[in-house]
Amino acid sequence: MPLRLDITSEEDTASAADTLERETGSEGLTGLVNNAGIVVPGPLEFIPIDAFRQQIEVNVVAQLAVTQAFMPALRRARGRVVFIGSISGLFALPLAGAYAASKYALEAVSDALRMELRAFGMPVVIIEPGQIHTPIWETSLARGDELYRNAPPELETYYGGPLRGLRRRVKRGMRALPADRVAQVVERALTVRSPRARYIVGAEARLRAILKKVLPDSTRDAIVAKALARL
C-alpha cells in the first residue's frame, strides 16, 4: 500500500499514520525504514541559515516525527526501526558540514531510541553507507549551484577551487555503489533475529570508519586536506 507524503508536513505524517492504523489494525507494523534525506553542500561560512535549518528538518526532525507517528503500530507488532544514516555521521568532510551535522544528529537519535526501546524488544538500527548511486547526487549539485549563484564574491575567493573539486567528486559519486547494496542490508536489518545496532556499507565507508578510530584529528585533517587538494 504506497503512501505519498511530505515528511516535513505534520498533516501529511498524521494522515499517513491514520491510514496505516486502519490498514494494519491489531497486527501493527513490523518495520519502519526512515530513508528520506537531502544534501545542502558548501562551506558552513556561507550556507544560508534557512538552508541549514531545512537540512536538519528533513534529515533529523522529520525522521523522528514519522517514527513517533507510527510508534503505536510498531508497538503492537514489536516492530523495529531502521534509520538510513551515513558514514558522514561518523566522519565529517569539509564542504559537507551541514549534511554531516544532520547525520551525526541522526546517530544520536538512533542510539538513544535503541536504548529506550530495548526493554520492549523493539530493535533500532542505523545503516551507514558511503557513496551510493541515488538521485541525491543530482539534487545536491542543483543545491550547490543555487548557493554559488546567490553567494557573495568571497565564496569564490576563499573556496572556489575546493568547490569545483567537490563538484567533480559529486559527479564521481553518481557512479558509486548501486543502491541495492544498501537495500540488501536494510532487508537483513529487518529480518534477522538479532540485528546489529549499526551496519557500515561499502569499502569507502569502512575505510573512513577505521581512520576515524585510529588516527588523531590532526593527522586525519591533513589527509583530508591533501585529498581535497587533488580533487
Give the active site residues.
99
E strand or H helix that includes residue 198: strand 198-201
**Which of 13, 89, 93 lies closest to 56, judged by CA?**
89
How many CA atoms lie within 13 Å of 2's alpha carbon, on the beta-carbon side? 1
Contact (CB, 8 A) for 149 and 143: no
**Which stretches within 152-202 are classed as H helix?**
154-173, 179-191
3-class secondary-structure state, position 126: strand
Burial label for 128, CB within 10 Å (0-12, 13-18, 19+), is buried
Residues 185 and 128: beta-carbon distance below 8 Å? no
Q: CB of 80 within 8 A of CB of 188?
A: no
- CA 209 to CA 91: how far, in whole Å? 7
Spatial contact of 225 and 93, defined as CB atoms under 8 Å apart: no
CA distance 184 to 179: 9
